[in-house]
Structure 1
Amino acid sequence: MASFVNNATSCECPSPRALGYSLPPEWSQQQSVMLSCPINPATWPNTRPALERAYAAFAAAITRFEDLRLNCVAAAQEHYRSLLADAGADLSRVRFHDLPTNDAWCRDHGPIILRHADGQRRAVLDFDYNAWGGKFPPWDLDDAVPRAIAAMDVLPCFHAPLFCEGGALEVNGRGTLLTTASVVLNPNRNPGMSKARAEQLLMDALGCEQVLWLPSGLAGDDTDGHIDTITRFVAHDVVLTAYDDDPLSPNHDVLKRNDALLRAMRLHDGTPLEVIRLPMPEPIRPQNWREEILPATYANFLVINNAVIVPTYRQDRRDEQALAIIAQAFPTREIVPSDCYDIVIEGGALHCLSQQMF
């Protein structure tokens, strides 16, 4: 049976949980946010100028609150530095890494930072990565990012014998992980793996005591249903969950079922979850694209130091409704809207693009 490996020594080692490490909840204090610049010309092929402006605006918003690290090959750094400057970024808070990537979705290929119970030590968790079940080759450069960052930051790096992505993981900081079976148990990632084995690996990797499962996620989601597009912890016993009142929506039945399942869930100490519904945007249906509907969702917000950056979709009434609900969930943080209409065409939004560095 495969076990955890210390990437620095290539030797088997105890799990992060056994060594006292765990994944902090996203509202914990962060050192920085990491992004991978969208340098692959095959992505956003028809809307790249608009995408780059929206991306730079998002990056600039992060620099209002904390440091930003950008994975970007040297040849493209001046271009992105100019974009950030035009967007009003605080360039003194920006650090570029000459690190090549295949795609921009840093949530899924970036380093997952674990913290030790002593409050001081940190480590990198490195899952196997195959671009959401082999959908978008090549992915070799993305798969190498966690190890490269661990070496750069001189951190221990634990390889977990599981195909998984950061967008599939939602923790409450009190021992609970929320994820989806349609991702972790999908044969395109972990063929033949039992639910019990997957739970053990996830708990050992992330320092958790229980795994709560939802069956699946949004229509049109290339990831097969990442949790970060549907349900997010906003406190240890409170979740915001995407909900669609329209019975004709392709997401209505799935989200209604998820809502009912969440209300029946209990944390490992027996505490029930408080479930707050978060409306969905009106369906966005692109023409001549690989998906009939885009996985646009307000649940893909990014929690950073003193702020929450929230995706919006040029739907004033629904955008404002979602912003108000998220503001109630995070009363001590500034709520910053960020236009994702030109970003979501490639299947993700703010949380998908980013990775917190604790």
Structure 2
Amino acid sequence: MTSTDYRYRMPAEWHPHSATQLHWPSNRETWPGERLSRVESVYLNIIDALHRYEPIILLVDEDSSEKTVREKLINYGIDIGMVQIYSLPIDDVWARDCGPIFVQHLDKLDRYAITDWEYNAWGEKYPPFDSDNKLPEWFAENFNLEHFNTNMVLEGGSIETNGEGILLTTESVLLNENRNPNLTKAEIEKTVKHYLGMDKIIWLKNGLAGDDTDGHIDDLSRFLNRNTILTMIADDPNDINYKALQENYEILKSSTDQDGNHFNIITLPLPKTKIEGTTVDGSEYVPASYANFYIANNVVLLPLYDKRYDEEVMDIFREFFPDRDVIGIECADLVWGQGSIHCITQQLYGIKS
């Protein structure tokens, strides 16, 4: 297929989904001791909320008991008819980063394809990751979907689009030598623009302290609609994240959309990110961020962390998504594993139930 024949673009997250991909937590290195049961409780809350709005494709590692997971869902009151469970090898829960990134045909709008990027667990930080890296191909084969290999490392949490050809990302991730050391910035930009159908990339700089992905965009800045960006800021100049967030905010203020107009920028305060003790990789910080929300069919799932700001944030989301329910979910036990709702979900298209 030549470049001129490739007529696809990644849709915005608010584009109607056919399902959501989730992985049931089972990795004991990510969730040691009683952390596993605590994160399972968060998962049950998320699945309970989400399955009322769209189907869920739930992957369960083949070494775990599919029957036990099914029983937990049923006992929680979840309609199991809305959850398709598949048992196969998976390494961890981060569906956003290893799952299929879908693109929509620009002329035949009911036609979708999977772009298959390489996944190396954020620079080979957490082996093994080979099973998760195979998931886009599994989806393509299992659901009979068109499939494009890109031969470049890229995670879904590192990109954000308004569906109109504008993409947000960070230099700290896409230009990191632990991803694609043999590619220049120009080569990376060309590949991303081609396979995702983007006209313009807005490069932010760095991410949050404690973000082991090196700074994913979905903890920093997200589109609320085609020309409105929500971005996180820190009010306290002594906050460890203050400088990085201010720098990103200034870049966004000077950036323009697909029509050459400046974006409407909405700022939100960063919740508390310093934790008691440390995470499994020794960090005193977690990437707790209200930007890690997930837009699904007729609903927005919003992570909650900090009672100083939670209600204010809920009100802002109700304002921008008046036609969707906004459901807040306590995510302190989830973000301890260094990701939140957006990190564990991936929207799917063109999949027949």
Name the counterpart of 1:114: 103
User: Where does 1:51-90 land on structure 2 (aligned, <5 Å)?
Assistant: 51-74=39-62, 75-90=64-79
Deviates more, 1:84-93 or 1:212-221: 84-93
One-letter code aligned to 2:155: E
State how many pairs are aligned. 344
Q: 1:319 aligns with which of 292, 310, 315?
A: 310
One-letter code aligned to 1:66: E
Name the counterpart of 2:91: 102
Residues in 2 aligned to 1:79 and 1:352: alpha-carbon distance in whole angstroms: 24
Name the counterpart of 2:285: 293
Deviates more, 1:85-94 or 1:139-148: 85-94
Residues in 1 aligned to 2:149 and 2:127: alpha-carbon distance in whole angstroms: 22
Q: Does residue 345 in structure 1 map to residue 336 in structure 2?
A: yes
One-letter code aligned to 2:294: L
Residues in 2 aligned to 1:305 and 1:87: alpha-carbon distance in whole angstroms: 22
Name the counterpart of 2:26: 39
Deviation beyond 4 Å, 4+ runs, structure 1: none
Q: Does residue 265 in structure 1 map to residue 255 in structure 2?
A: yes
Query: What are the superposed Cα offsets for residues 52-99 of structure 1, whole Å, 9 maximum, x if unpaired?
Result: 111111111110111000111354212222222233322110001122
Residues in 1 aligned to 2:2 and 2:105: alpha-carbon distance in whole angstroms: 14
Name the counterpart of 1:14: 2
Name the counterpart of 1:331: 322
One-letter code aligned to 1:316: K
Identity %: 38
User: Where does 1:101-180 land on structure 2 (aligned, <5 Å)?
Assistant: 101-117=90-106, 118-180=108-170
Residues in 1 aligned to 2:225 and 2:340: alpha-carbon distance in whole angstroms: 22
Contact 1:53 1:83 in 2 (8 A): no
Q: 2:10 aligns with which of 23, 31, 36?
A: 23
One-letter code aligned to 1:255: L
Contact 1:240 1:299 in 2 (8 A): yes
Query: What are the superposed Cα offsets for residues 307-339 of structure 1, whole Å, 9 maximum, x if unpaired?
Result: 1000012x2221112111222221221100111
Contact 1:69 1:94 in 2 (8 A): yes
TM-score by length of 2: 0.94
Residues in 1 aligned to 2:264 and 2:283: alpha-carbon distance in whole angstroms: 33
Secondary structure in structure 2 of the residue aligned to 1:71: strand
- Per the TM alignment, residue 18 of structure 1 is displaced from its structure 2 partner at its CA by 4.0
Q: 2:274 aligns with which of 260, 284, 292?
A: 284
Residues in 2 aligned to 1:307 and 1:285: alpha-carbon distance in whole angstroms: 30
